[in-house]
Structure 1
Amino acid sequence: AGVGDGSGGRGAGAPAVGGARESGAAVEPGPESYRLGDYDLAARLSFFLWGSGPDEQLMSAAATGRLSDPAAREAEVRRMLRDPRASALSTRFAGQWFRLQDLEKIQPDVRVNPDFDEPLKRAMLRETEIFFDNLVREDRPILDLYTADYTFVNERLARHYGIPDVAGDHFRRVRQIDGERRGILGHGSMLTLTSHAGRTSPVLRGKWVMEVLLGTPPPPPPPDIPELEEEAVEDGRLLTVRERLEMHAASPTCNACHRMIDPIGLALENYDVSGAWRIRDGGVPIDAASEFYDGTPISTPSELRAALLKRPEPLLRTFTENLMAYALGRRLEYYDMPAVRRIVRDAAAEDYRISAFIVGVAGSDAFLMKAAPAAADGEPVNGNGG
């Protein structure tokens, strides 16, 4: 059975696509494929890393054939990552991967969150974009996405998070005093877009982690599964989100999936609809205690983070899949998986730094090759020239 929480189906956990320039049909490598010429490769690199066309230096490298040399191509990739235009990886790639575009559709109920406004929503979006851009610019290990003890806030967002001594609209780097808010799992952007207007949703938050970070989307709910009751009352008291969720998941049909999803979302229940920290839900102390799918007890964001990092392979693989799909401009296929595994293995030697994954994608056969169009006589067209 799938997930029933009235979410309207936010979509499966397919890798992010569409940011880089169209890269040709997704075909299995073979005789029908050819290696790109240097000019085509320059265009593919620039749209992958910058979201725009090649600069003069990249075109010069293409003109002299240097992009066909792996070492010279890697040097160009690393130069491009140091260029300000590489911010496209945060605004476009990370935006798609984390589904930040969904934030535009979210408007928390003012009765529940009277302080929420558009400046706060924009600040949440910028925090995540600047945070990811910093990971790229400092060439940090991708697992810092989960463990970083800093973030980027302006005065409006700092006040929302309870971070003192931040004034003005300018974003600045601040150390996280509270270890619970470390990394992407503490970002208001993610926590808001995985909530309903009037309440938190452990199901949506659990689904987001499973789909976006772990690459294991749960199946859709059966059509006859009722939505979670919004106004459930017992003895005149409005039930907490956890109590309503437990009622909903009591059915064996529902429990098969909810026992995997709900513990992840429940560990984030101390964050309210817009990601502010809370200790009560409707006057009742938050009860976030649960068990991760491997039996690890979790009850806080930090314990969830530790449970995820205990086996980081799915996190690394899913990042690589999304990065490669973005670079190719298409969904990945089964024949892409050996390259994904190889990129992750090679990145281990560089402490899983982001540049290692990007260099690996840019050097993969899928990135360097393209399906050959049929010539007039039915023979494949070779890939010589730009």
Structure 2
Amino acid sequence: MKFSFLRKKWFKIPYTLLLYGFAAYGFILTATYFAVKFNWTNEKGSVDVNNRYFSEMHDKYDQSFKVDSVSMIKHRFEVLNRIMLVNEYYPKNANLILATYTENKDEKLALRMLDAVDLQLKKNKSYRKAWSKWKHKDQKSDQKSTGLSVFEWMNIAEWKDFKEAVTKDKKYIDSVYKVTGVEPRLIVACLVGEQIRLFNSSRESYKRYIGPLKVLALENHLSYGVTGIKNGTALTIERFLAEKGSEFYPGEKYEALLDFDSTINYASKSNDTLDIRLQRLVQWENHYYSYLYTALFLREIKTQWEKAGYSIEDRPEILASLFNLGFQRSVPKPNPAVGGSVYKIKDKEYTFGSVAYEFFYSGELANVFPFKKKSFDEPKTVIKRIVPTN
């Protein structure tokens, strides 16, 4: 009777439930222990359906990914072409990739980002067709990439020497731009036509002086200076600066640019037999006047054509051709021809105008003589003639 309450229903049912509950809990703990011990609970997982693709991409961008200059140029164009393709379907992703590439300049990263997009678009038939067409076109070409220029004459050794030499003259060419407003790159285009001709025709001079010293060829007979200005041409340039009624007259702000300064001695061993006009042109180091006469010739020719109703401001090949041929050949007309002196470089014929054109638009030396929005601008500095006072 002492524990009679144990037989009571109100106690017996909860007690039984509690007892079996603890037993069940003990069983679960025991089962869990053995499950963990024998790795029964490990997640088997599954291999991603694109695992092979991921492996291929890893191998593609592993150590075999070429980073030489030629390969990187090829990668760069692939990046840009593929971004344009993605932009046709998913502009948002294309812009994100382009922004990253613009910021990092990392072709490898950009290509991997594009591959991630490709994976998502593998079932997009239109995209796959466009991508396959571009890829097939790229692989079909049997032309191997080279580190050479498409402009063959720029692959000669003399061209490298010329670039070093003309870079030394940047300060003089920029100074001429300030007082004439003529684009430095246009001035250099005329210089290129003359210097490449001289490099090719005066082989001994090139081997002895120009190549080793990395200097420009300096003419001192019939044509003068580094741009080959003839004495008669120099006189005509000066005359047109003063003749206000001339079709070539460029304006009052240029009139005093070629005035002679009697306080300066231009004579040297290389020009002491020449008059002062030519002495200014034939200077071994300071080529300022060669570039100044060239720029003023170009401005006078441009003025003549504009007054006749024809603009050749954006035609460097025509301006250079006329610079080579002279004032007498400058006849304004609707369809001017490119030409000038003809010379051979590596057995291939070129005209003065075509060489100037190819240089101007080649992008070569753009870091030294960048493209400007206008080939003829207003001068930044106006030099006025000093009028003597009584």
Fold shared per TM-score above 0.5: no
Point out the structure with max Rg over C-alpha. Answer: 2
Class of the TM-score when normalised by the shorter of the 2 chains: under 0.3
Q: If the length of structure 1 is used for normalisation, what is the TM-score?
A: 0.21
- Structure 1 or 2: larger helix share? 2
- Higher relative contact order by CA 8 Å / sep ≥ 6: 1 or 2? 1
